Structure 1
Amino acid sequence: MASALTALVVAAAWLFSAPGVAAPATMQEVVTWGASADRMGEAVPDRSYRLVVRTSAAGTGARIRLSNAFGDRPVTFGRVFAGVRKEGAALVPGSNRPLTFGGDRSVTVAAGDTVLSDPLPGRLPAATALVISLYVSAAGGPATGHGMAMQTSYAATGDHTAQESADNWSERTGSWYYLDAVSVRAAPAIGAVVTLGDSITDGWQSTTDLDRRWPDYLARRLRASDGTPVKGVANEGISGNKVLADGAGQSALNRLQRDVLSHPGVRTVFLFEGVNDIKAHTGVTAQDMIAGYREIIDRTHAAGKCVVGATIAPFKGWYEWDAAAEEVRRQVNEFIRTSGAFDAVTDFDRVLRSPYDAERMLPSFDGGDHLHPNDKGMQAMADSVALDSLACSRRPG
């Protein structure tokens, strides 16, 4: 019990730092948490959301990004607070602090737009259970958010954002609304990796509320390593997402700028996506996939960032598998491994496949549907990533 209380005090320490202390001029902004924006159904006014997220990179001057990317009219946030989670919807006492936007407590975000908060004074540690409480005072039309959070958050009618207790926060939600990024200021050497993917990256079949998606395991490795300056991890997976075609979220090609390249401090994009393009009998060829990968690589390189490519994992046993899709997967993986188009390669296919049938996932890694790894498989994926491959650097152009 004593160690748990100590951890909460440490996590909340950033909130008690002296206000008005400016970060050194040499610091740079880096993303410490991210989730892809998507359309979330009808927006609801006079509604509060208490959103639980986990930071990766430590730093000062925390800022959040609110998104109305899929809205067709403005949305107004009456108040927004940031605090540290104690348990459930309850916050560490004294940790909840108001955020401002250009000095104002309220902000209106135009349709299709995003807004950054002003920085909060103080330090935000790595691995903090950060809670963003926001009140939507006026909204309509499509809401923006992230559907499959694999994390319990909370909602309520009316404005309860300043409240630190769990009172009134009785409604649970498995989605994040409007919040799509958190950033901090860190030393110039510190950078981030963005994982661009589908439901496997999004964390489906990992255990809810325990941060066992493979990017979470990767963040733990990066945090524990003294040998890499990459500390930030933004998970930009969307369940059902494709490289080439819109559907479950905009395609990787169409959301690359907003969900990936727009984040601050990104060193490397980790591209692990493609199974949804090839598994549904869509007629997508290996050449189609390779062209899509090359476009992502070219645009990312032009932005001065590196790209690590991951091979498509085995999925025999999934209801949409057939020999034709398997052949496309084989050809695409050969390109990823041997073309030299990527700055580095992580071979998730070899990590996850069964030694007795290379077209199937190893049973001990299988979440049960033969496509999505379980917690053990997620950890094996993260453990296979060469950390030094995430720290490469490029110049724009």
Structure 2
Amino acid sequence: MRHVELPRRARRAAVALALGALAFGGVTTVPQEAAAAPAARTTPVVTWAASADRLDTAVPERTHRVVVRTSAGGSALRIRLSNAFGEQPVTFGSAYAGAVDSGAAVVPGTNRALTFRGAASVTVPAGGSVYSDPLPGTVRPYADLAVSLYVRDASGTATGHRMGLQTSYIAPAGDHAAEDAGTAYTQRTSFRYYLDAVVTDAPRGTGAVVALGDSITDGASSTADTNRRWPDFLARRLGDDRRTNVKGVANEGISGNKVLSDGAGESALKRLDRDVLSQRGLRTVILLEGVNDIKATPAPTAAAMIDGYRQIIARTHATGACAVGATVMPYQGWREWNAAGEAVRQEVNTFIRESGAFDAVIDFDTAIGDPAAPERMLPAYDSGDHLHPNDAGMQVMADTVDTRALRCGR
């Protein structure tokens, strides 16, 4: 049965209730190492993530309020801050997490201070990342959270995610992280500065799936501020499915990304360790990449693409995780389509379907393609540009995933 979305007021109340334990738990936040004792009953699982990339110039003395939606519920929420592409250290003067109320406002009583080895402030070196200490209490699945980050000192290039398809907010002057009100957050942005993962402690045995992809996974052409990317729909399916303990979903798509070469973000081969294999509770990687390589000029051969896929599979398997291959979807009608690229796509898809190199296969090509014209997307799922699915297409993609295939028994 398909999930029915709660009215906005009911959703806010549910999130506020979930975070109430964080706000009123009466437990002092402790360093992450000290929280290890009860870990026998729980498993750290990524509940939200977005790929790190180069953004614009880093600006000090401003506060970012980044809005995210969880997948797996759990306790002991912590965040990961990334300075992967910074040339200089970034100092965060304070960080808070609370339940989204409306716009940039946070539900009163839910906004809690995060610490880093017991300190309110942390400096992340150039190229580095850091996890916060855990917050006591619980967070429910599908909770809309506002993570507020006061950047006290920064220069050079900012790190973050470019195509958020979710409105976040900036307070351009001073530390406003602790404030419930959104008054100081006068700027809107789709960028997600510095925050690249959120983790919770879920019941023991819970795992996560990471979607490694390009703009289709990133959600391009889905409706902004509605969480209608195909990994969002998949998160709902997994959360509602009592037969699976894969509950966390991390979206590691970058618009324009390629398997073999840099461009829009580092190549999938380069960013695999940082964006995917480092995620807590990783059980399965779904690989949906290749169309940007194939439609490039000059384009790689199918043999080169297959070699790239084999490298990703081998590195994923080396961590003990499953590798699921998704077929490259049709795109005739897009300005870069040509017959030679289509031939490569067909050869690549034959490898994905028939080689046995992947632990399982998701045939997005067949699910989205027009049976009467297999080189094209079915009009009902086409956003209009003939490359990116619309909301209905994103839903169909998520529905195509056999949730049993996300457990390969490695």
Query: TM > 0.5 between the two?
Result: yes
Residues 231/5 of structure 1: CA separation in 2 closer, same or farther (3 Å cut): closer
2:109 maps to 1:94 = yes
Q: Which moved more, 1:2-11 or 1:150-159?
A: 2-11
Aligned equivalents of 1:244, 1:143: Cα separation in 2: 24
Q: Which residue of 1 aligns with 2:27?
A: 19
Q: CA deviation at 1:253?
A: 0.2
| Paired amino acid for 2:190 | G
Mapping for residues 149-168 of structure 1, pairs under 5 Å: 149-157=164-172, 158-168=174-184
2:190 maps to 1:180 = no
Mapping for residues 94-173 of structure 1, pairs under 5 Å: 94-157=109-172, 158-173=174-189
Unaligned runs of 5+ in 2: 1-6, 30-34
Aligned equivalents of 1:118, 1:348: Cα separation in 2: 39
> 2:359 pairs with 329, 343, 361, which one?
343
| Paired amino acid for 2:67 | V
2:394 alignment partner, SS class: helix
Aligned equivalents of 1:161, 1:185: Cα separation in 2: 24
Judge conservation of contact 2:19–2:138 (CA < 8 Å) in 1: no
Residues 376/136 of structure 1: CA separation in 2 closer, same or farther (3 Å cut): same
Q: Which residue of 2 aligns with 1:10?
A: 17
Q: CA deviation at 1:345?
A: 0.1
Q: CA RMSD in A?
A: 1.3
Aligned equivalents of 1:8, 1:120: Cα separation in 2: 16
Residues 76/4 of structure 1: CA separation in 2 closer, same or farther (3 Å cut): closer
2:376 maps to 1:360 = yes
Aligned equivalents of 1:100, 1:5: Cα separation in 2: 25
| Paired amino acid for 1:145 | G
Q: Which residue of 1 aligns with 2:91?
A: 76
| Paired amino acid for 1:312 | V
Judge conservation of contact 2:15–2:140 (CA < 8 Å) in 1: no
Judge conservation of contact 2:15–2:144 (CA < 8 Å) in 1: no
Q: CA deviation at 1:159?
A: 1.0
Q: CA deviation at 1:12?
A: 2.6
Cα deviation code 1:266-299 (max 9, x no counterpart):
0000000000000123231100000000000000
Judge conservation of contact 1:60–1:185 (CA < 8 Å) in 2: yes
Aligned equivalents of 2:300, 2:12: Cα separation in 1: 53
Q: Which runs of 4+ in 1 moved over 3 A?
A: 1-6, 20-23
TM-score (norm 2): 0.94
1:276 alignment partner, SS class: helix
Q: CA deviation at 1:47?
A: 1.0
2:352 alignment partner, SS class: helix
> 1:314 pairs with 330, 339, 361, which one?
330
Mapping for residues 222-301 of structure 1, pairs under 5 Å: 222-301=238-317
Aligned equivalents of 2:398, 2:16: Cα separation in 1: 29
Residues 5/181 of structure 1: CA separation in 2 closer, same or farther (3 Å cut): closer
Aligned equivalents of 1:371, 1:145: Cα separation in 2: 25
Residues 308/10 of structure 1: CA separation in 2 closer, same or farther (3 Å cut): same
Q: CA deviation at 1:124?
A: 1.1
Aligned equivalents of 1:262, 1:29: Cα separation in 2: 12
Aligned equivalents of 1:282, 1:216: Cα separation in 2: 34
Residues 188/161 of structure 1: CA separation in 2 closer, same or farther (3 Å cut): same
Aligned equivalents of 1:8, 1:44: Cα separation in 2: 31
Q: Which residue of 1 aligns with 2:78?
A: 63
Q: CA deviation at 1:5?
A: 5.7
2:170 alignment partner, SS class: strand
Judge conservation of contact 1:196–1:270 (CA < 8 Å) in 2: yes
Identity %: 60
Figure out how many residues of one structure are paired with residues of the other and give that number. 394
Judge conservation of contact 1:229–1:391 (CA < 8 Å) in 2: no
Judge conservation of contact 1:304–1:393 (CA < 8 Å) in 2: no
| Paired amino acid for 1:51 | V
Residues 124/137 of structure 1: CA separation in 2 closer, same or farther (3 Å cut): same
Judge conservation of contact 1:12–1:92 (CA < 8 Å) in 2: no
Cα deviation code 1:187-206 (max 9, x no counterpart):
22100000000000000000
Q: Which residue of 2 aligns with 1:305?
A: 321
Q: CA deviation at 1:25?
A: 3.1
Q: CA deviation at 1:41?
A: 1.9
Judge conservation of contact 2:16–2:99 (CA < 8 Å) in 1: no
Q: CA deviation at 1:207?
A: 0.3
Q: CA deviation at 1:28?
A: 1.7
1:359 alignment partner, SS class: strand
Aligned equivalents of 2:58, 2:226: Cα separation in 1: 28
Cα deviation code 1:207-229 (max 9, x no counterpart):
00000000000000001110000
Aligned equivalents of 1:297, 1:199: Cα separation in 2: 21
| Paired amino acid for 2:39 | A
Cα deviation code 1:282-334 (max 9, x no counterpart):
23110000000000000000111000000000000000000000000000000
Q: CA deviation at 1:391?
A: 2.1
